[in-house]
Amino acid sequence: MKKNWQELATYQPRVIKLLANSIEKERLAHAYLFEGKKGTGKKDVGILLAKSFLCEDLQDYEPCQNCKNCKRIDSGNHPDVHIIEPDGLSIKKGQIQELQEEFSKSGVESSKKLYMIVHADKMTVNAANSLLKFLEEPNANTIAILLTEQYHKMLNTILSRCQLLSFHPLQPKVLQETLKESGVSPNIAALVSQLTNDTDAAFELSKDDWFAQARTKVIKLYEVLVNRKGQAPLYIHTEWMSHFNDKEKQDTGLDLLLYLYKDILSVQVGNDEQVIFQDLMQLVKQHALQMTQRSVTEKITSILEAKKRLHANVNPQLLMEQLVLTLQEG
């Protein structure tokens, strides 16, 4: 899906405002370092910057998306846009040298050229030193974009030659709306946006049948805990363990259960709009009246404790059986 600056501003308002301003005033820096966690939109912004830089029909700062340059950048075969990614575990000196050779030729389409180095922190020392020479002699019509999730691992000499732009993790509400706009059901979008702030991971999780079933299993466990207390250990044995069959899945299951109890607490303190399981609002409100805040807080604490013990290699089935006995109390 093609993105424009206006859409990306929802995710990274500060970064986009700065870049849009620089494009409009024709004051783009010759080197940028985009740093931030995975899934915060760094590469999307880099691609869009390439389009705005090379677009034949720029509207203020928005690329037209339809000219020859925009289309070739989309398809990944523009001769003056080069994207370098790690070859195996690192970016080698040879890759940077090839880039330098490419850039010593005049631009194929125009005098403008742009290169992007993905995971720039994975450059070998020799590759980083090669790049440094390149950055020290900037061509007026060349832009470098370095992307990294760990900029503290990069040479200070490289950092000092780049304009640093920090990409912040996405807010759950922003991610939730993005997922919904892309056709993800509101119930799944609300949960996924709590579990990750990585856009790519969120889309992957929202399409996973296992996750949709996990949500159903957690709701069922909760109903068993409330209405058929004695049957909770049996439910763990017959239905829970086969679905949450490794540590990562068990951790997710505990997270979903935790959010349900947090929803009850949200209603008790008057924050109905914070409720994640919105489709269970009637049930959540009913139980918020039946439980004390202290009781709900204790249940939340016991789930957090179970998450800790799960990572200390306690037997998962035993852990869940003990947890449901604790949750049934009060």
Q: Which residue has the tokens 């086969």?
A: 242
Show the tokens assigned to 82: 């080069």
Encoded amino acid at 73, one letter: I
**Pairing assessment for the beta strands 81-84 and 31-36 based on DSSP bridges:** unpaired
Mean pLDDT taken over the chain:
91
Structural domain contains residue 182: no
Q: Quote the domain boundaries for residue 165.
A: 5-169
Encoded amino acid at 111, one letter: S
DSSP 107: P
In degrees, to the nearest 5, what angle opens at C-alpha 35 toward C-alphas 31 and 38? Answer: 135
Residues 287 and 145 in one domain: no
Q: Is the pLDDT of residue 271 over 80?
A: yes
Q: Determine the average pLDDT of the residues in 293-306.
A: 95
With cut-offs at 50, 70 and 90, classify the pLDDT of residue 147: very high
Q: What is the pLDDT of residue 44?
A: 92
Structural domain contains residue 199: no
Q: Point out the least confidently predicted range of 90-104, 239-253, 268-282.
A: 90-104
Residues 21 and 101 in one domain: yes
Structural domain contains residue 197: no
Residues 236 and 94 in one domain: no
pLDDT per residue as tens digits for the range 42-66: 999 999 999 999 999 998 899 999 9
With cut-offs at 50, 70 and 90, classify the pLDDT of residue 107: low
Task: Please tell me the total count of domains within the chain.
Answer: 2
Q: Is the pLDDT of residue 1 over 70?
A: no
Q: What is the pLDDT of residue 323?
A: 95
Q: Is the pLDDT of residue 212 over 90?
A: yes
Q: Which of 200, 197, 195 is nearest to 218 (CA)?
A: 195
Q: Determine the average pLDDT of the residues in 321-330.
A: 88
Cα 175 to Cα 71, 165, 191: the distances in Å are 27, 21, 11
Q: Which residue has the tokens 């363990």?
A: 241
Residues 18 and 164 in one domain: yes
Residues 154 and 20 in one domain: yes
Residues 15 and 142 in one domain: yes
Q: What is the pLDDT of residue 171?
A: 84
With cut-offs at 50, 70 and 90, classify the pLDDT of residue 133: confident
